[in-house]
Amino acid sequence: MSVHGPRSEPSHPRSRDAATILVLFAFSAAGSMISTLAPGSPPRVWPSIVLSAVACTALLRRRSHPRTVVALTTLCTLGEGALGYLLTPLLQGPLMVALYSLGLRTDRRTTRTGALAVAVLLPVTALLAEPVEHYGLLLTTVNPVAWVLLPAVLGSSVKLRRAYLAAVHARAEHAERTREEEARHRVAQERMRIARELHDVVAHHLALANAQAGTAAHLSRTHPDRAQEMLDNLAETTASALRELKATVGLLRQDSDSDAALGPAPGLARLDDLTTAFAGAGLEVTVTTEGTTRPLAPGADLTAFRIVQEALTNVTKHARTGAARVRLVYSDDRLSLTVTDSGAAVRAASAPGRGFGLIGMRERARSAGGTVDAGPRPEGGFEVRCTLPLSPPPTERSRST
């Protein structure tokens, strides 16, 4: 949606004002010729021309001083009525323009007060200047009142419409800014999600590859016959890392590359493959399940798998132990998983909550509607506790629908 800016001011406002004033003065001068309905000699023309010139000149300040201009043009028009001139629309032209500017640039109360005051003064002045029997009542009362109320109402209406259009324009700009901010927020969330995926994939496979490479180097000196098996496991680990990296980075491809086949997101169904990979790196993982196994939402399933993967990777990197335990407990509406080890911690930062791995686990669990808590065990070792809902959170349900 494209939102156009406000209208620009005219490039030559003074030239336009000068042309408008000249036209008004010409009409006012013509109106001076229609002086009165009273019998006898009509008043001289030049006083009306002088008053019309003063009123038209005052219009140059109608934008900056609309009240003053209305007062001055009213006095000039009243003077013409007091001199016996018939207050025709031609003679009232400068006053009508001044009242229009008053309605356009001031509040409704000021416009209403000014227009009513002028509407009362004009017929009263005309009636005082000449006896009523010499005039038609319509020309001396109703006609001037109608012609001074019309521009005031018109100016107020134009002002209201401009205010309405400005409000619509402001709402459109606000809606566009809101959409842009929402789009940026979604992009940031997607980048964070991809960053977590990359961190988990790279950290997991590099930790396994490092452990397998170290074991292979040791076996090559002590048991050369078993070193080849460890090297085969290392090759499988690196190939798996390349596959997962390709699938994750594939999320960043353009629409034209969207037809590339990407593997399904991992979940708890691949937990056996994960424990087998860690067994090849020298970490024996025991998995126990309590309760009735129930399917998780896709996001929660991926989150559970990545949290177990990250926790076991931390055990491989930081704990002096060859065993870990994964415990899955299914309840009515939640899955509780626990990853524990009993090794002596050699972590660089043993305090709970430190490190990007734990931060990533907490972010993952929060996005799936769950929680993660981690810290050292009183009896020794380290423990990661995670709770995830079995049904998707409201945000995920709304996205899926």
pLDDT at residue 392, rounded to an integer: 59
Nearest to 321 by CA among 337, 339, 338, 345: 345
Phi and psi torsions of 42, nearest 5°: -75, 160
Q: How many of the other CB atoms lie within 10 Å of CB of 318?
A: 21
Phi and psi torsions of 251, nearest 5°: -65, -20
Task: Give the pair of three-digit tokens for residue 44.
Answer: 């001289």
Residues in a beta bridge with 171: none
What CATH architecture applies to the domain 268-401? 2-Layer Sandwich (3.30)
Nearest to 384 by CA among 326, 332, 300, 335: 326
d(CA 89, CA 96): 8
For the chain, the structural domain boundaries read: 13-176, 268-401
Residues in a beta bridge with 385: 338, 373
pLDDT at residue 256, rounded to an integer: 44
pLDDT at residue 294, rounded to an integer: 84
Per-run averaged pLDDT (10 residues), the chain, 401 residues: 45 73 82 60 73 86 87 86 78 86 87 86 73 53 77 87 90 86 78 70 71 74 74 73 67 49 70 84 87 83 87 82 90 90 57 60 84 88 90 53 48
pLDDT at residue 263, rounded to an integer: 52
Residue type, 32: S
pLDDT at residue 46, rounded to an integer: 79
Residue with tokens 């660089």: 348
Three-state SS string over 300-364 comes to HHHHHHHHHHHHHHHHHHHEECCEEEEEEEECCCEEEEEEEECCEECCCCCCCCCCHHHHHHHHH
Which pTM value belongs to this model?
Answer: 0.47
pLDDT at residue 386, rounded to an integer: 93
pLDDT at residue 393, rounded to an integer: 52
Residue type, 286: T
pLDDT at residue 327, rounded to an integer: 93
